[in-house]
Chain A
């Protein structure tokens, strides 16, 4: 069994630590945070401290990132598997579609999907999705293209290996190959791709929420900053912006460290 690089442990520990901290500080014991926050109360939410809002927002942002990252990775895997199993024109067109999705910025497409989703929810056709679910689905619909391209290329490479050719020569079907031979080789790669989607989803959500397009309640980090940005400009909101910014940076740093450290291992596999 190969050792997991130290860099990956550091990244995962950072992510886990931030998750536990935001759960405890932002959700379980918010009153402790409110009474000890050195940054004082928020200028636009006078009844809440800056720490409460930042850590509460971190918990929401992290939850959205994990759910959307997981869903987009799963969708990408499914699309890549279906494309490779069918092959030919279907595979070509699916990959063209993925390229088209990939060319557009996440933020722009998420804004359009939020507009569409909110209109459906308002008309009572939202399939029970709230703001959280709507954001997760929007981010997953945007984020599947990258993982699909990565997984499809990886599957293509793996299928050129001798053990796959041998299994095919022995009469193994496409599904058998995928389940028994390809999936075990692909599995560690999935974690790296998931971790690489995590910061992208969090940043896209933050920006869209900052614009006030998503109606996230409780507030995510982006919505927290977006609800009061005009006041922040005039009141010198550095003490409000910097904690939220640092939490975002640490979150992205953790996911990036773990993702980068795990990706080369899987290439060597």
Chain B
């Protein structure tokens, strides 16, 4: 039980660490100097910076959150965001991310099966080349290649296209893990024993192999969730989706520092929630995790 609580505590600790680190980093920026030089911020932005971050006030780091919960706008009037808008944008990004996760699992299964088949033939090299190509391809490249179809023909939904391009690397990454884990588990004695007792291959796979493969995949869900959310930044920018990733990039470009603080913390919270969900699923599917609990 103690180990489980420590793991959960580590997941949750990320949120206050990120909230405080991002706040103090942003609050220490020399943005308040009003100057006519072209790179200085506008007087309106400098005023919103002081107001939204509560610079110089005791417990000033709570100010952005206070404003959000009151329904007030963070940042300047034209480019800022309210709590409701933030939630709406986040739900859009999470929706795209969930579709991308489903697609990534499909790619993973397909790639794992193909890799297993290629291993015995002349196409074995593809099993190594495809992951290298997927890793070496930033999300914005497939997004740029797909964008003309989306923009000109309008034949594909921008959200679906974004999910498609975001899912490529996580799918190949999970597929590589799944393929390797399957190969290792299928060579073990317990699989041979189960097969020799007359169990059909499907039952052996479902009842014996998959429970041993799933924990390895669960370990990869954290990096995959990070990759999906980070990938959404580029995909939303290229496809013009007005969701969380686009909000974040625009907030950085326009120096909306209070929005950056809040959005960074929200991002860390989403990762913490994913981490907690993974721990929950691990408790259900992995008997070793349940033994730790008792």
Contact = CB atoms under 8 A, between A and B. Distances in A.
A252 interface: yes
Interface stretch (B24-32, B176-184, B197-205): B24-32
Interface in B7-63: 10, 13-14, 17-18, 22, 25-26, 29-31, 33, 37, 39-40
A229 B144 contact: yes
Contact of B39 (A122, A222, A237): A122
A237 B260 CA distance: 32
Interface of B is mostly: helix
A212 B253 contact: yes
A211 B30 CA distance: 23
Contact of B139 (A125, A207, A237): A207
Interface residues of A, number: 50
Given A120-B30, A211-B253, A222 B148 contact: no
B40 to A, nearest CB: 7
Contacts, number: 133
B260 A103 contact: no
B30 A119 contact: yes
Contacts of A32: none
Contact of B257 (A115, A118, A120): A115
B252 A115 contact: yes
- Residue with the greatest number of chain B CB neighbours at <10 A, chosen from A107, A226, A244: A107
Interface in A215-233: 222, 225-226, 229, 232-233
Interface in A226-267: 226, 229, 232-234, 236-238, 241, 244-245, 248-253, 256-257
- Give the one of A206, A222, A253, A257 with max B CB within 10 A: A253
A99 interface: yes
A207 B234 contact: yes
Nearest to B238: A229
Contacts of B164: none
B133 interface: yes
B138 interface: yes
A99 to B, nearest CB: 7
A39 interface: no
Given A119-B29, A213-B249, A229-B238, A236 B148 contact: yes
A269 interface: no
B138 A108 contact: no
Given A116-B26, A236-B148, A213 B137 contact: no
Interface residues of B, number: 50
Interface stretch (B74-82, B207-215, B263-271): B263-271
B132 interface: yes
A105 interface: yes
Interface stretch (B88-96, B99-107, B187-195, B224-232): B224-232
Interface of A: 96-97, 99-100, 103-108, 111-112, 114-116, 118-120, 122-123, 125, 199, 203, 206-207, 210-213, 222, 225-226, 229, 232-234, 236-238, 241, 244-245, 248-253, 256-257
Interface of B: 10, 13-14, 17-18, 22, 25-26, 29-31, 33, 37, 39-40, 132-133, 135-141, 144-145, 147-148, 151-152, 222, 226-227, 229-230, 233-234, 237-238, 248-249, 252-253, 255, 257, 260, 264, 267-268, 271
